[in-house]
A and B are shown apart, each in its own frame.
Chain A
Amino acid sequence: MILVFLTEVVVFALVVAGILAERSPALLAMGAALVAAGSLVRFVTPLRVALAAAFAAHRTAALAGGALLALALPLALRSSPYWTFVATLALLYVTIGQGLNLQIGAAGVTNLAGAAFAGLGGYSVGLLTVTAGWPAWLAVLVAPWVAVAVGAILFVPILKTRGHYLALVTIAFVFIFNILMNNLEFTGGPQGIKNIPTLRLFGWAFTAKPSIAGVELPAHANFYYAALLAAGLTTWALRRLHDSWLGLALNTLRDDEIAARCCGVSITRGKLLAFSIGNLWVGLGGALYAVMVGFVSPPDFDFGYSLVMLSVVIIGGVDSIPGVVLGACLLLPLPERFRFLHEYRLLLYGVVIVVMLLYRPQGLWPAAVRRYR
């Protein structure tokens, strides 16, 4: 158990130090330390075996330790509101990625409209608060259901088309969504919706700086904890759905629709459930994003973000719940870390994804076999 905690603390320390290292020498040293630690685990077999065994034996402890460190992260990052924001963004992508993974990974419903569904969540929050005057917390709770409801437009194509054609239908949907948002008056056109009120729970405004044990944190820490809650909830729920009759049925219909039908699986029910549950979480991610940044506009939800969401799912490992967490926590912060390469950032991002797909197509943390325990 001590080994488990020790490993987690070391990883945490390396990550925090890696994030905060400002000057190149420090950053290089951090990079070297990460590579060294990584190769130590990768190539020293006894260590790897011992670690794997320790984590397998103390799963609960490992999770608890991880949760504790996730809670402590804003403390470690308190000097940098920017990095607290990036960490929050990564957590929102965990929520979104888990939802999308149920559709794409578990059920094989190629949804490239992730950005549009996140946008539906975000815009709904904007309209409900700014136009209709609802309190932000209520809007955040209702907005994901708007994403689910509007997603019903795509039910027929989802049932009728598959593979590349379904991909095309969902791409068309993102484009339609974007053009509409850009040109409709009630969504604010290209300017979008500004001045979305911040979350306020039990009198606590999320713009106030929280302090834990006398240490003052940046205001973004509020959203960090909200996003952590959402990400944790989503991951927990989808982990359980993955190891359930639904997860099994979805995997079967993804791999072989005919076999699934002949085993009594209703393709209609399965795909609709996966799609709707998925959109709920994608919409929640978008809704939280809207209250966090305080405005929504068309470019925040364009096709490019669908690509980022898709890469979170695939790079993490198709249908892998921990993979999504890992994917989001790597793909979102990494380009920010390499800001000094600012103009080459997206270029490198594309190259990294292509290389990953060529050399590790199963993802960083491939889906494990269901064990039902």
Chain B
Amino acid sequence: MSAPILEVRGLTVRFGGLVALDGVDVTVGAGETVGVIGPNGSGKTTFFNALSGLYAPAAGEIVFRGRQIVGLEAHAIARLGLARTFQSSRLCLGLSVFDNILIGMHAQRRTGLADAVFRRGRFLGEMREALGRAAHLLALFNRDLPGRGFERVGQLPQIDRRRVEICRALAAGPALLLLDEPSAGMSPDETAELMRDLQIVREERPGLSMIVIEHDMFVIEGVSHRVVAFNYGRKIAEGPFTAVAADDEVREAYLGTERAGA
């Protein structure tokens, strides 16, 4: 495994008396995809929220691209190259498809307020290029989407919205992409399409590292190099999918709360 892009050590998050994450260690290598599984409430999303700076950890460290990021604000962490999607999509439904993707490029903008007001040519040139990149990203997943770029996102079907959200994350040119249950609320057919989409992401950005939270074990098996299992805020297993899926504690955790997915 190459030099890790993310090293999480002893990460602990508390809400009042509740320990949501308890001393979690996770390492992600460059270009690696790590799957995260675990029953509801096991701390998976909390893990993402701590990584992206939305929750302040009570203890532990997060080293991202060689830099300690605990205590940084969410937008600063995003600018370091960490992008994410959300379990229930967080797009701005009233804004256009393009706008929702362009905001992902916001951190890399080269023109400022003065350009936008006075040096219009310079600014518009940058926007043309940005719109082109957004259209390119959309076309990767669905060739009809660039044509709908100036429609409001609220008019797109669920699967395309998820794609827009992935495009927004990719538009930031991240080094690490966090996908929080991309198949949530999707039919089996749509999930199959999503698997193909994730494959496209992999081909488009070969060096990109990913962490994927999923309940759908087929998705996890299909996309991850390595799997981490959470339960009650602790990491209970780590390794290749087959090994983790066969792990007694993991089976117990799932059977205790819901049917075993694998």
Contacts and interface: CB of A to CB of B under 8 A. Distances in A.
Direct contact of A and B (CB under 8 A): yes
Interface stretch (A59-67, A95-103, A134-142, A260-268): A260-268
A105 to B, nearest CB: 12
Contacts of A262: 52, 54, 74-75, 78, 83-84
A245 B106 contact: yes
Contact of B103 (A252, A258, A266, A371): A252
Given A261-B54, A262-B84, A373 B124 contact: yes
B116 A255 contact: no
Contact of B78 (A251, A261, A372): A261
A251 B99 contact: yes
B106 A240 contact: no
Contacts of A261: 53-54, 73-75, 78
Given A244-B113, A369-B96, A370-B96, A258 B90 contact: yes
Contact of A241 (B73, B113, B127): B113
| Among A241, A246, A264, A370, residue most surrounded by chain B Cβ atoms (within 10 Å) | A264
A244 B92 contact: no
Contacts of A107: none
A248 B103 contact: yes
B94 A372 contact: no
Nearest to A237: B117
A256 B90 contact: yes
A256 B84 CA distance: 14
A111 B95 CA distance: 22
A267 B113 contact: no
Interface residues on A, range: 20 to 34
B111 A245 contact: yes
B218 interface: no
A174 to B, nearest CB: 29
A240 B111 CA distance: 13
B91 interface: yes
B117 A241 contact: yes
A260 B104 CA distance: 9
A262 B174 CA distance: 12
Contact of A369 (B123, B131, B152, B168): B152
B14 interface: no
A244 B106 contact: no
Q: DSSP majority for the A interface?
A: helix
B120 interface: yes
B89 to A, nearest CB: 9
A371 to B, nearest CB: 7
A366 B61 CA distance: 47
Contacts of B52: 262
A225 B42 CA distance: 66
A181 interface: no
Contact of B91 (A259, A265, A266, A373): A259
Given A245-B106, A249-B103, A372-B131, A264 B75 contact: yes
B172 interface: yes
Interface string A222-264: 0000000000000001001101111011011001101111111
Interface in B71-103: 73-76, 78-79, 83-84, 86, 90-96, 98-99, 102-103
B73 A240 contact: no
A369 B116 contact: no
B55 to A, nearest CB: 11
Given A237-B117, A252-B95, A263-B78, A258 B124 contact: no
A266 B116 contact: no
A259 B78 contact: no
B120 A240 contact: yes
B107 interface: yes
Contacts of A258: 54, 74, 86, 90
Interface string A26-51: 00000000000000000000000000
Contacts of A260: 75, 103
Contacts of A245: 106, 109, 111, 116
Nearest to B102: A248
B127 A240 contact: no
Contacts of A266: 73, 75
Interface string A342-373: 00000000000000000000000000011111
Nearest to B116: A244
A241 B128 CA distance: 17
Contacts of B95: 248, 251-252, 255, 369-370
A255 B79 CA distance: 20
B105 to A, nearest CB: 9
A257 to B, nearest CB: 10
Contact of B106 (A241, A263, A371, A373): A263
B114 to A, nearest CB: 10
Contacts of A237: 117
Contacts of B131: 372
Given A251-B95, A259-B90, A263-B78, 8 more contacts: A248-B99, A248-B103, A252-B92, A255-B92, A255-B94, A256-B91, A258-B86, A264-B79
23 contacts: A244-B116, A244-B123, A245-B111, A246-B116, A248-B95, A249-B103, A249-B106, A251-B92, A251-B99, A252-B95, A255-B92, A258-B54, A260-B75, A261-B53, A261-B54, A262-B52, A263-B104, A264-B172, A273-B113, A369-B96, A370-B95, A370-B99, A372-B127
Top 3 nearest A-B pairs by Cβ distance? A244-B116, A264-B107, A255-B92
